[in-house]
């Protein structure tokens, strides 16, 4: 599995919106250190919202919890669960995608 594919899968695992995952993947990895101030303020744990959602979070019109949907991770945001759970999920995903391909 390539690095960015894994980033996307992890974003889905944590229930982040597609636009935020796209924004992260498009700009990764320099992005994390160079993101605009509003995105720094809106970032929590591993979740770096896209610019639009960052502005909404900072303005208080939306919360992180409202943006996060269909979360596969068994623990509530911002907890990222255990590495073992993540590894198990990635291993399963890898096996499933190999079966299909």
Please report, as ranges, the residues that interact with Zn ion according to CB under 5 A. Answer: 17, 19-20, 50, 53
> Is the CB of 66 or the CB of 87 nearer to Zn ion?
66
Least distance in Å: CB of 30 to Zn ion?
19
Least distance in Å: CB of 39 to Zn ion?
10
> Is the CB of 18 or the CB of 75 nearer to Zn ion?
18
Measured between alpha carbons, how far is 11 from 74 in angstroms, rounded to an integer?
Answer: 14
> Is the CB of 32 or the CB of 87 nearer to Zn ion?
32
Instruction: Name residues whose C-beta falls within 8 Å of residue 88's C-beta, 6 or more positions apart in sequence.
Output: none
Measured in Å, how far apart are the chain's first and last C-alpha atoms? Answer: 13
C-beta of residue 52 within 8 angstroms of C-beta of residue 19 = yes
Least distance in Å: CB of 5 to Zn ion?
19
C-beta of residue 76 within 8 angstroms of C-beta of residue 64 = no
> Is the CB of 9 or the CB of 20 nearer to Zn ion?
20
Encoded tokens for 24: 């992260």
Least distance in Å: CB of 20 to Zn ion?
4
């Amino acid at each position: 599995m390539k690095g960015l594919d894994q980033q996307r899968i992890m974003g889905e695992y944590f229930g982040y919106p597609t636009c935020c995952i796209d924004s992260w993947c498009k700009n990764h990895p320099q992005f994390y250190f160079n993101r605009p101030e509003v995105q720094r303020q809106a970032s929590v744990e591993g979740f770096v919202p896209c610019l639009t959602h960052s502005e909404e979070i900072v303005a208080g019109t939306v919360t992180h919890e409202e943006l996060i949907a269909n979360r596969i991770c068994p623990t509530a945001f911002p907890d990222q669960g255990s590495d073992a759970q993540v590894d198990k999920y990635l291993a399963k995903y890898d096996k499933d995608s190999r079966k299909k391909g």
